[in-house]
Structure 1
């Protein structure tokens, strides 16, 4: 796809409440657009109530449109796996439920290899840093020590994506007390994300 004459690619990322993910990725250099919504749903156009009640299966997700000349998919995945916990199944901090399952969903088969390689790297990189309050991720996992728990993040082709209502977009900016397990102030302090543009 092209935006303002520039070639863009897209990637769909799920991992906990979409509020935090949207806020983070919208402030990354090279990302042109981020939308919050629901991915791989079992019925079309679900409401948030449909997803949360279990009436419709789906994942809270963001659509990331980015300029591959300014940022690559590996950099996006590196940030994503720094701010979510890939070792849990439907648990991100205090957010618990199947809608919070972590996933990477793609529309281009050329991305399959890089995503697969990255997941293998994650699983085999050795002893992971501890997930404590001083880290980006605040939720801890059991069995820390010599071996990492298995990666439970899904990696699948995108089946569908339904954008959340406008009042849900960039929700943290109008509701700064809304829960997110992501330490956004730390990312700002480290310069990982840009300041909010006024």
Structure 2
């Protein structure tokens, strides 16, 4: 099993999505790269811990690879904002990929470079074909604001914060869960989450 730590807005939506991906065996909501031990949600929201709301994604690399996880991650977050994901605003909601294994840095760096360059407008010639063209100002996407850093620490959030959206399906998330279900990116929930 391998771990990858992902942040992008509230951990509620990120956890709900990745808990339903085939090959992911466990998810835990929490706080990453905190300057204090065991920060509370209040500490993080007030900026006292410098931490980010994050989800620990434990996956089986024989069933899903890191590139597939990153592709889904960049589909559900906005990597071009600095601490803004839908209605969530603040440094605790910044987007990030936090790794514990140096072997993952190559794949993360490759994917980040792909995201940064996929909107670059190339010169059209008779023998070229341009894909992923971005129709933004100057033909370029804004710079990626998602950080990719080594995980310093991770503190699990309390039980009442875990799988929050599953217990509170009408709670706000900027992620369109139903659309992800419809296109088969995540599994539909068949039963209510069992009490832990």
Q: TM-score, normalised by structure 1?
A: 0.87
Q: What is the SS of the residue equivalent to 1:123?
A: helix
* Number of equivalent positions: 177
Question: For residues 190 and 37 of structure 2, what CA distance do their matches in structure 1 show?
Answer: 34
| TM-fit CA distance, 1:177 | 2.0
Q: 2:136 aligns with which of 122, 144, 149?
A: 144
Which residue of 2 is the match for residue 174 of structure 1? 167
Question: For residues 197 and 53 of structure 1, what CA distance do their matches in structure 2 show?
Answer: 37
Query: What's the RMSD between the two structures over aligned residues?
Result: 1.4
**1:42 partnered with 2:39:** no
Matches within 5 A, 1:112-123: 112-123=105-116
| TM-fit CA distance, 1:127 | 6.1
Question: For residues 32 and 53 of structure 2, what CA distance do their matches in structure 1 show?
Answer: 7
**1:183 partnered with 2:172:** no
Which residue of 2 is the match for residue 79 of structure 1? 72
Question: For residues 3 and 49 of structure 2, what CA distance do their matches in structure 1 show?
Answer: 24
In the TM superposition, structure 1's runs of 4+ consecutive aligned residues that sit over 2 Å from their partners are: none
Q: What is the SS of the residue equivalent to 2:74?
A: helix
Q: 1:68 aligns with which of 61, 65, 68?
A: 61
Q: 1:158 aligns with which of 148, 151, 155?
A: 151
**1:23 partnered with 2:16:** yes
Which residue of 1 is the match for residue 89 of structure 2? 96
Q: What is the SS of the residue equivalent to 1:77?
A: helix
| TM-fit CA distance, 1:175 | 1.4
Q: Residue by residue, what CA displacement relative to the aligned partner does 1:3-55 show, whole Å, maximum 9, x if unpaired?
A: xxxxx000000000000000000000000000000000010100000000112
**Can you give the 5+ residue segments of structure 2 that lack an aligned partner in the other structure?**
122-134, 192-196
| TM-fit CA distance, 1:73 | 0.2
Q: Residue by residue, what CA displacement relative to the aligned partner does 1:146-174 show, whole Å, maximum 9, x if unpaired?
A: 21000011100000000000000000112
Which residue of 2 is the match for residue 54 of structure 1? 47
Higher Cα radius of gyration: 2
Q: What is the SS of the residue equivalent to 1:33?
A: strand
Q: TM-score, normalised by structure 2?
A: 0.88
**Can you give the 5+ residue segments of structure 1 that lack an aligned partner in the other structure?**
1-7, 129-142
Question: For residues 106 and 190 of structure 2, what CA distance do their matches in structure 1 show?
Answer: 35
